[in-house]
Amino acid sequence: MNHLVIAPLLLPLLVGTLLLLSRRTLSLAARRSLNLAAILGQILLAIELLILVGDGTILTYHLGHWPAPWGIVLVADRLAVWMLLVTSLLAFFALLHAMQGTDRCSRHFHPLFQLQLFGLNGAFLTGDLFNLFVFFEILLLASYGLLVHGGGAARVRAGLHFVVINLVGSTLFLFAAGALYGLVGTLNLADLSLKIARLPPEDLGPAQVAALLLLAVFALKAALVPLHLWLPSAYASTSAPVAALFAIMTKVGAYALLRVETLVFGEQAGILTGFYAAWLLPLGLLTLVLGALGALAANELRRQVAYLVVVSVGLLLAAFGLGTADGIAAGLYYLVHTTLATAAFFLLADLITRERGWAADRLVPGPALPNAGRLGGLFFVTALLVAGLPPLSGFIGKFLVLRAALEEPVWPWMLGVVLFSGLLGIIALARSGSLLFFHVRSAGSGAPTQARPTQGLLGAALPTLGLLALCLALLIGSGPVLDLAQATAEQLLDPADYIQAVLKPIGIQVAPGEVWP
């Protein structure tokens, strides 16, 4: 039992509470530094945990020292810590961008930001299904606040849709959890894995219903077709740092799908073996195509980037749906890349919007940008990253997914769809790039013709540059990162260690006979 496992939960919870209590007493600068320091702390914690679990150890934390299937358990394995690290790195740069003025709109931005991280970290670390629901609710409640932060009609309307559809999702989650509990009598993921494997064939029908309900919930969070329609307007209308932070929100759904796919419905699952993989692959490919078409049709830059998030979810889940170690490893590498790259794109879209004045981020000929050269350069690099063109990390991610697909019988589908949607993505980005930077037109009468040059562009672009630098680091360090991804995938596909680590009695003071009837 290692107390470090619960630290990524306690730190944001305590700092978030402190920020909430001190919202009238502390100055904005102090609150900003406190928030930033807490996120730095979370990065360090994630690195420390990564060192601890890097050799394949699975750390568990039994809250209140209750033994596993009855008590609440936190589990830190390679996948969970991997997600923690990506989340905290992303949050750091999103917060840096928010400090340029987004956080002035209301006193509650900083507490909500930390509570969002609390929910995210909890969702990655928890080892049972009901607490996954609770942490989903925590991160969603914080995200509702962040989404409508700053107000405005478009934001409130998109927020209302987001809230209602997620509340329906939460209800479905409870139905799924109740059905699983009624069927096998446990909600602990490790225990669930053992009990699903021993399910008699006559329970196949109810088990499939429960599993599919759960799939629908996670697909809704991940924005998998046909449950993706909430995403574009929500992400396009919210403020830039929040949209950047939300780049990880769809990945929470992908994480939950991957965890349940490998742990509960994996090789050993008896009558339900490979139940999720069969759904994820076709739905992922469909998501790719529809997302790319949406990006092509979008008439605002931020909406286009939101559709590119949908595209990335499609590729990610198609890779996870391959179900092989290579596929999952490629997916994990791509997950880090796409989270950082789309977040950078949301921040960059905000910089461009600020400079374009009346035209904002609409994809129409607009005023000439004062910093067109530098912003255009950034746009070019980010577009290369997101579209997955060589020589950047997006290309490596896509290449690995395709290489993993070549060993499977579905490869013609996978190759065709991924390359076709990649082409659509390139066309969409080339169109918006040329509209934003080359097609200059002065406004009609009444509108101010001059676009406002950003003061201190370098400072404003620092968070974007930081995220791009992380993508570059991902490219340079792709060897070690890929080794880790491969090891993570192998650990996921052999869940015996996970189950052992969670379910073995934790009796130090208690004799094993007493806790293990």
Partner 1 sequence: MEALMSLIVGVLTAGGVYLLLRARTFSVVLGLTLLTYAVNLFLFASGRLTIGAPPILDPELSRYTDPLPQALVLTAIVISFAMTAFVIMLALRARAELGNDHVDGRASAGASKESEA
Q: Using CA atoms, how far apart are residues 386 and 347, in angstroms rounded to an integer?
A: 14
* x-or-dash string of contact with partner 1, 176-215, rule CB under 8 A: -xxx-xx---------------------------------
DSSP 452: P
Q: Is 141 in the site for partner 1 (CB under 8 A)?
A: yes
The pair of structure tokens assigned to 145 is: 């606040």
Which residue from 22, 48, 137, 209 is in contact with partner 1, where contact means CB under 8 A? 137
Q: Which is nearer to partner 1, 166 or 421 (CB)?
A: 166
Six-digit token string for 101: 């003025």
Within positions 152 to 181, which residues make up the interface with partner 1, using CB under 8 A? Answer: 152-153, 156-157, 159-161, 163-164, 167-168, 170-171, 174-175, 177-179, 181
Stretch that binds partner 1, among 115-123, 140-148, 217-225, 413-421 (CB under 8 A): 140-148
With CB under 8 A as the contact rule, the residue among 132, 148, 344, 387 that binds partner 1 is 148
**In the complex, least distance from residue 179 CB atom to partner 1, rounded to whole angstroms:** 7
Minimum CB–partner distance for residue 450 and partner 1 (Å): 30
> Cβ closer to partner 1: 82 or 135?
135
201 vs 517, which CB is nearer to partner 1? 517
Kindly write out the interface string for residues 74-113 of this chain, putting x where it contacts partner 1 by CB under 8 A and - elsewhere. Answer: ----------------------------------------
What does DSSP assign to residue 450?
S
| Contact with partner 1 (CB under 8 A) among 54, 101, 151, 477 | 151
Which H/E stretch holds residue 435?
helix 411-437
The window from 130-138, 273-281, 292-300, 403-411 that contacts partner 1 (CB under 8 A) reads 130-138
Q: Please, what is the minimum distance in Å from the beta carbon of residue 134 to partner 1?
A: 7
Residues 269-328 touching partner 1, rule: CB under 8 A, are none
Q: Supply 428's token pair.
A: 């969409």
Q: How far is the CB of 160 from partner 1 (least distance, A)?
A: 5
- Tell me which stretch binds partner 1 (CB under 8 A): 134-142, 250-258, 351-359, 432-440: 134-142
Sequence-distant (≥ 6) Cβ neighbours of residue 452 within 8 angstroms: 354, 355, 357, 370
Q: Which residues of 277-310 are buried (b: 16+ CB within 10 A; e: fewer)?
A: bebbbebbbbbbbbbbebbbebebbbbbbbbbbb
- DSSP assignment of 309-375 equals HHHHHHHHHHHHHH-SHHHHHHHHHHHHHHHHHHHHHHHHHHHHHHHHGGGTTBSS-BPPPTTHHHH
Provide φ and ψ at 374, rounded to 5°: -70, -45
Measured between its terminal Cα atoms, the distance across the chain in Å is 21
Tokens of 172: 């479905």
Return the number of the residue (157 or 362) whose C-beta is nearest partner 1.
157
Inter-residue contact 95 to 39 (CB < 8 Å): yes
Residue environment code for 426-445, b if the CB has 16+ CB neighbours within 10 A, otherwise e:
bebbeebbebbbeeeeeeee
Output the smallest distance, CB 181 to partner 1, in A: 5
- 140 or 240: whose CB is closer to partner 1? 140
Half-sphere exposure of 195 (CA within 13 A, CB side): 17
What would the x/- binding string for partner 1 be over residues 425 to 464, using CB under 8 A? ----------------------------------------
Least distance (Å) between residue 68 CB and partner 1: 14
Nearest CA-CA partner of 242 in 159, 129, 128: 159
Question: Using CB under 8 A, which of the segments 146-154, 335-343, 378-386, 436-444 binds partner 1?
Answer: 146-154
Q: What's the CA gap between 408 and 8, in Å, rounded?
A: 38
Paired tokens of 126: 């928890």
**Contact set with partner 1 (CB under 8 A):** 130, 134, 137, 141, 144, 148, 151-153, 156-157, 159-161, 163-164, 167-168, 170-171, 174-175, 177-179, 181-182
